[in-house]
Amino acid sequence: MKTEVSFSIVFSQTANFIRNRFWPIALISFLLNLVASLLLKNTFDIAIITQLLQAGNPSGFPLLLKMVIIKSVLFMIIDAILIAVIYNYSVNDYLNTNTVFSRILPNALNIIGFQLIFLIILPVIFLMGILIFMVLGIIIPKELTILLFAIVALVFAIFFNALYYNFCGLITQPTTKSFFEKFAECNRSTLTHWRFALPMMLIYLLIVVIISLLNGASNNIFLSVIYPTIITILNVFTICFFYRLNMLLISNKSTLEPPQQNNNLII
């Protein structure tokens, strides 16, 4: 029997999953952010990099670029671990380290592949956007151009984040599909089921903005770890949302797979 899939159903089931496993997920999120924070602080001095950039020192930009690359790699590793943890708790009632470690490398490779594709696409989109808005700046008032740019940037941020988290949700469940099949399915699913992706991304971005503002207003070292931990838990929730959404959609399309198997995966 097909189950009616709605945003409220997917959201509530995701909330149940997080609530039932909140403390293990919170502890893992805290430890991952603590390790990442210590690595970054012991590798780079942000104050020195800022001084070099402000002084126009040519050595400042390579240091900044190196920090951004290492930070991006750390975040990709963290996401790969989180996806593995989500899958583990979807099939086990406890933290099975063998299950987690067996999924980290495949997840990391998929995420790297996703990021590399957009690393190639984004500069092209950026250059085309600059050209279009340069032309618009001649035709329409500057204020209206800036407003249009802000709207387009917001729409693109929502779309990119929806693609990324939907992709993370798709790779949570191990399959025999190739990377490009998963990538194509991610794009198709995001566009087809935008009524699910849009409200989830708006909620996600709103919470991120609020937490970022609170974090920026605080100089407490302890809070500087707590705030990223909250963001990480939010990332887990968002990945779980798309994972659950995809599993429900697959369950509705398939009449061969027992419904109970899918229903036990994430609640």
pTM given for the model = 0.87
- pLDDT of 41 above 70: yes
Please say whether the beta carbons of 238 and 204 come within 8 A.
Answer: yes
Please say whether the beta carbons of 111 and 99 come within 8 A.
Answer: no
Please say whether the beta carbons of 145 and 136 come within 8 A.
Answer: yes
CA separation, residue 56 to residues 43, 48, 65, 114 (Å): 22, 12, 15, 34
Mean pLDDT of 133-138: 81
- Write out the two tokens for 63: 């240091």
Please say whether the beta carbons of 96 and 85 come within 8 A.
Answer: no
- Write out the two tokens for 35: 């390790």
**42-46, 187-191, 201-205, 210-214: lowest mean pLDDT where?**
42-46
Please tell me the predicted confidence (pLDDT) of residue 85: 96
Going from N- to C-terminal start, the domains of the chain cover 7-263
Spatial separation of the C-alpha atoms in residues 198 and 200, rounded to whole Å: 5
- N- to C-terminal Cα distance for the chain? 19
- pLDDT of 47 above 90: no
Please say whether the beta carbons of 244 and 13 come within 8 A.
Answer: yes
DSSP state, residue 255: S
Per the prediction, the chain carries an average pLDDT of: 86
- pLDDT of 210 above 80: yes
Mean pLDDT of 37-41: 83
- Write out the two tokens for 255: 């009449």
Please tell me the predicted confidence (pLDDT) of residue 236: 96
